Amino acid sequence: RKEVEQDPGPFNVPEGATVAFNCTYSNSASQSFFWYRQDCRKEPKLLMSVYSSGNEDGRFTAQLNRASQYISLLIRDSKLSDSATYLCVVNKAGTDKLIFGTGTRLQVFP
């Protein structure tokens, strides 16, 4: 089983739609969780950290479910500029490693 698993997509949604991605992780002792965004042929960049109580940043909401070992990202009112690959990232328990999922591709169309 992979340490971090994501649906690769692509998710094709119209502008204004709400879209959600899930990610599962295998190690229940993992402590830190993130969502990164990667544009085509660019480097990954931090979108937001994921906190136990859930957190929101504008149109983006991240949630953590420790019991089921998954994290989610909700994007409301999708924009064309949201088109990118979204990478789920988990800190490997007991280490300083960041383990990346293979990413979920989002395409927002007019």
Partner 1 sequence: DAGVIQSPRHEVTEMGQEVTLRCKPISGHDYLFWYRQTMMRGLELLIYFNNNVPIDDSGMPEDRFSAKMPNASFSTLKIQPSEPRDSAVYFCASSLERRGTEAFFGQGTRLTVV
Q: Which of 11, 19, 21, 44 binds partner 1 (CB under 8 A)?
A: 44
Q: If we measure between CA atoms, which residue out of 73, 107, 106 comes closest to residue 88?
A: 73
Nearer to partner 1, 48 or 75 (CB): 48
Largest CA distance in the chain: 44
Q: Which of 28, 29, 43, 67 binds partner 1 (CB under 8 A)?
A: 43
Q: Which of 59, 66, 79, 97 binds partner 1 (CB under 8 A)?
A: 97
Type of residue at 103: G
Does 52 interact with partner 1 (rule: CB under 8 A)? no
Does 103 interact with partner 1 (rule: CB under 8 A)? yes
| CB of residue 91 to partner 1, shortest distance in Å | 5
CB 71 within 8 A of CB 23: yes
Q: What tokens appear for 59 in the block?
A: 């149109």
| CA gap 77, 13 in Å, rounded | 10
Does 42 interact with partner 1 (rule: CB under 8 A)? yes
Q: What tokens appear for 62 in the block?
A: 């991240």
Does 79 interact with partner 1 (rule: CB under 8 A)? no
Nearer to partner 1, 53 or 95 (CB): 95
Q: How many residues does the chain have?
A: 110
